[in-house]
């Protein structure tokens, strides 16, 4: 069994089982394939906890063929912006209105009348706040209770303000009602757990996300 692993830095490892016929023993061997990331786009990937959004852009620098593959998704412009470095320092310190990590996630739409799912072509992307230690009054009657997390839109946030924030993949999928005539239209019906890990090509989704396109591009 083989496994693709992204570590901070970034370092992209291909972990595979090798058997030594001389010693008649086997074990896992880690190969650094960072500069050949484009050859592993369709392999499932495990993302270590401390990988930053900046690491994804550094991966493009290390494997420049990725830039050509993603050129239609503003890879040149985004990488040029990322190379300028973070515009603000990100802190691990708790703040009720802060972002602890960026999250890639999925929401599926189910029409319960026809039992049809809408096609899922990409992941969604947002910021996830810290676990609230106390009730948080966001204003205008919006009070978030202690023990919950706030999901923050980053649709108007500049790329350079997000670079130092960790990025994670959520395997829990929210399934929402898609029948226009249903009373629960748009509401969550259930959650499911996905077992398969995302492909490397899917995890590169932040490069396609309009929320991180430099403002100079509109």
pLDDT of residue 215: 37
Mean pLDDT by 10 residues, the chain (218 residues): 91 92 86 96 92 95 94 88 87 91 92 88 86 92 93 88 93 93 94 86 66 39
Which is nearest to 44 in space by CA: 73, 65, 14, 66? Answer: 14
pLDDT of residue 212: 45
CA 84 from centroid of its chain's CA atoms: 22
Q: What is the distance between the alpha carbons of residues 113 and 103, in angstroms, rounded to a whole number? A: 31
pLDDT of residue 211: 46
> Tokens 């239609």 — which residue?
72
pLDDT of residue 207: 59
pLDDT of residue 90: 76
pLDDT of residue 208: 56
Q: What is the distance between the alpha carbons of residues 179 and 102, in angstroms, rounded to a whole number? A: 30
Residue 33: Cβ-neighbour burial (10 angstroms; 0-12, 13-18, 19+): middle
User: Which element (helix H / strand E) includes 55?
Assistant: helix 53-62
pLDDT of residue 132: 97
Is 61:12 a contact under the CB 8 Å cutoff?
Answer: no
CA distances from 148 to 95, 125, 135, 187, 188 (A): 13, 19, 9, 19, 17
pTM for this predicted structure: 0.85
User: Which element (helix H / strand E) includes 54?
Assistant: helix 53-62
Residue 184: Cβ-neighbour burial (10 angstroms; 0-12, 13-18, 19+): exposed
pLDDT of residue 206: 60
- DSSP for residue 22: T
Q: What is the distance between the alpha carbons of residues 19 and 200, in angstroms, rounded to a whole number? A: 27
Q: What is the 3-state secondary structure (H, E, C) of 146-194?
A: CCCCCEECCCCCCHHHCCCCEEEECCEEEEEECCCCCCCCCCEEEEEEC
User: Which element (helix H / strand E) includes 144?
Assistant: strand 142-144
């Amino acid at each position: 069994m083989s496994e693709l692993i992204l570590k901070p830095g970034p370092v992209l490892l291909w972990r595979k089982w090798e058997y030594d016929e001389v010693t008649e023993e086997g074990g896992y061997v880690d190969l650094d394939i960072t500069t050949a990331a484009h050859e592993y786009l369709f392999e499932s990937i495990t993302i270590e906890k401390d990988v930053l959004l900046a690491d994804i852009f550094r991966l493009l620098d290390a494997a420049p063929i990725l830039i050509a593959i993603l050129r239609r998704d503003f890879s040149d412009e985004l990488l040029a912006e990322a190379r300028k470095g973070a515009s603000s320092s990100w802190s691990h310190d708790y703040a009720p209105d802060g972002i602890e990590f960026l999250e890639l996630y999925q929401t599926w739409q189910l029409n319960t009348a026809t039992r049809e799912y809408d096609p899922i072509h990409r992941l969604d992307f947002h910021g996830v706040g810290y676990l609230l230690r106390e009730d948080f009054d966001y204003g205008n009657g919006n009070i978030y209770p202690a023990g919950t997390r706030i999901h923050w839109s980053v649709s108007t946030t500049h790329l350079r303000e997000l670079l130092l924030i960790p990025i994670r993949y959520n395997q829990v999928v929210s399934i929402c009602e898609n029948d226009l005539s249903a009373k629960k239209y748009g509401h969550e019906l259930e959650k499911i757990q996905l077992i398969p890990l995302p492909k490397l090509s899917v995890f590169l989704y932040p490069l396609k996300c309009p929320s991180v396109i430099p403002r100079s591009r509109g």
